[in-house]
Structures are given as structure tokens and as C-alpha cells.
Amino acid sequence: MFSPVSTPAYAIREVAFFVIGITTVIFLLVAGLAVYSLIRFRRRRGDDGREPPQVYGSHQIELAWTVAPLLIVVVLFLVTVRYIYGIERQKPPPDALEVTIVGHQWWWEIRYPKLGIVTANELHLPQSDPTSSTPTFVTLESADVIHSFWIPQLAGKMDVIPNKTNRIWIDPQRPGTYVGQCAEYCGMQHAGMLLTVTVHSRETFARWTAAQQAAASEDVQVRGGRQLFSSLACINCHTVRGTTANGVFGPDLTHLMSRSTIGAGVVRNTPESLRAWVADPSSLKPGALMPAMKLSPGDLDKVTAYLLSLR
């Protein structure tokens, strides 16, 4: 959060520095008085060991330690409210990119309703022009329990709540990859609910969009794997657009190989880890809700070959 690249994150850093400034002054004052008292009033030779005079009911002192903290809290409150309203007041301009993100145990479903794209765990966005902001507005929903969407370099945390829609916006101003993480404890694999945001220039984002919009590729060599995949329970939970697989419980696999990790960031997306995942997801992500598919090694090879064709 100390190297922001998006307007809400810049604002959050400003508030953070303001709060750190005030609390640093309080800390120095309190610690300074404590150290001064320790030295000035330490036990000396010849002390008679009796308690010093006790002071009761000093109105000045009681007023001072009530009013001063109250004023500080009011100032912090007003400044924070101003920044929150400043961020939330923003209305989506007509050219804003709309993204819907659905939290699942334990992965992120990512939808671009206007572009007809569905993917998972790796959010791709165009760079926003700093001179005329072209923001992305994110609609947050949950399929099960409370999660929290947090990419510290782009925006603050926003809870992802079942039966409630939350909104957040970001306008990443520099291409790059930014890491995020579910920030609300949501069960066994809360820590394994990672998210990356890749910010592209306008041109490379258009290329990514076109590749994602294409139907799943069909390759003769992987036809056997596809037929096997279609005959198994895979299709009840996963979608591969253009095929009979249209489940929505698990991540959309149409362009699985365009993603660099599987299991929401727990392992790199390599042929070996993909095969191990299909064989038994819990071996890589204990508690993952996808069951072990109990396939023979030959069938495992076929299904893996098919998945590898989903570019």
C-alpha cells in the first residue's frame, strides 16, 4: 500500500501518512514523558521509601486527558470520512470497464459481462490514462461465505458478502502485475485464495480480450481427452465454452492455459502440476472442494492433454 498505482490507493496512502504522523507525535510525547519521569523521579540514596503525595480529583488533568484525545479522534474521523466519500462518490463513466468478481471457497471467478469473457484468479485490465481516468468498476459477489477483495497497490479492502453486492473501482496507471489476497478468513484455504492483477497497455489488453473471446480450440490429437472430459463429472462443475461443459461451481476452463497458476495461486500452471491437480487436488491444496477424479494413468494423460489444449 506504500507504492500505490491507482487513485483510491493514492488516497489511502495519504490518510495512512496522516494517521501515522499524528500517532507518531502521540507516541513521542507519551514515551518521552515516561522516560523523563523514569529518570527524573528514580529512586535515590536517602529516599525514605514512602509513597509520594497522591493527587485526587484534579479537574485540569481530567479535562486535558479527555478533551485532547476526543479532539484527535474527531479529526481522524472527519478526515477519514472525507477520503471515503471522495473515493465512493466516483460514478462510472460510460467507457468504464465493468468486471464482476465472485468469491468462492477458495478461488475468484472473474467475469467481464460486456466483453463476454469468463476467467478465474487472474484479473487482466487496461492501463488507465492518468490525465483522463478510464477506471474499472468491479462488482463483488460471493457464492458461499464472506471473503474480502484486496489488492493493496490498487485500492482498499472490500468485503465480498453473500446476497449483497459491493462495488469498488480502480484505475491502475502503470502496466505490471499486482498481487492480491483474500483478506477475510473464509475457511481452510483462506491463505490459498490468491489473486493477481495484470495491467496491460491498451493494445495488449485488446489482444488479450480477443484471445479470451475465442471459443476453445479444437485439436484432433486432444479429441480423445475432450470426449473423456465430457463423459466425466468435470462438466458438472466446469465450463468450456462451445462444448457441453457448462458447470459454474468451479472455474471456467475455456482458456485455462492462459493463466499462470492453478488453485488460485497455490501452484504454477505446468503440465505436471495440472496432471497432479486432476489426479487429486487435495495433494496440492488440502481442503480444495474439487474431488480426486480417480482416473487411470492413461485417462489422466488424456484429460491433461485436453486441458493443455485450452489456450
Q: Nearer to ligand CUA by C-beta: 163 or 221?
A: 163
Q: For residue 139, which phi and psi values (nearest 5 degrees)?
A: -100, 125
Residues of this chain that bind ligand CUA (CB under 6 A): 103, 106, 147, 182, 184-186, 190, 193
CB of 44 to ligand CUA, least distance (A): 57
Q: Nearer to ligand CUA by C-beta: 135 or 281?
A: 281
3-state helix, strand, coil in the chain (%, to 5): 40, 20, 40
CB of 260 to ligand CUA, least distance (A): 20
| Lookup: cell for 260 | 499462470
Strands 166-170 and 97-104 turn out to be unpaired
Q: Nearer to ligand CUA by C-beta: 187 or 224?
A: 187
CB of 250 to ligand CUA, least distance (A): 15
What count of residues does the chain have?
A: 311
Q: Nearer to ligand CUA by C-beta: 147 or 285?
A: 147
| Lookup: cell for 163 | 446476497
* 213 to 216, 251, 253: CA distances (angstroms): 9, 16, 13
Identify residue 12 by its one-letter amino acid code: I
CB of 154 to ligand CUA, least distance (A): 18
Report the candidate in 283, 219, 226, 231 with the shortest Cα–Cα distance to residue 253: 226
Please classify residue 8 by burial: count the beta carbons closer than 10 Å to its beta carbon, then call 0-12 exposed, 13-18 middle and 19+ buried. Answer: buried
Q: For residue 151, which phi and psi values (nearest 5 degrees)?
A: -125, 95
CB of 51 to ligand CUA, least distance (A): 53
Q: Nearer to ligand CUA by C-beta: 124 or 190?
A: 190
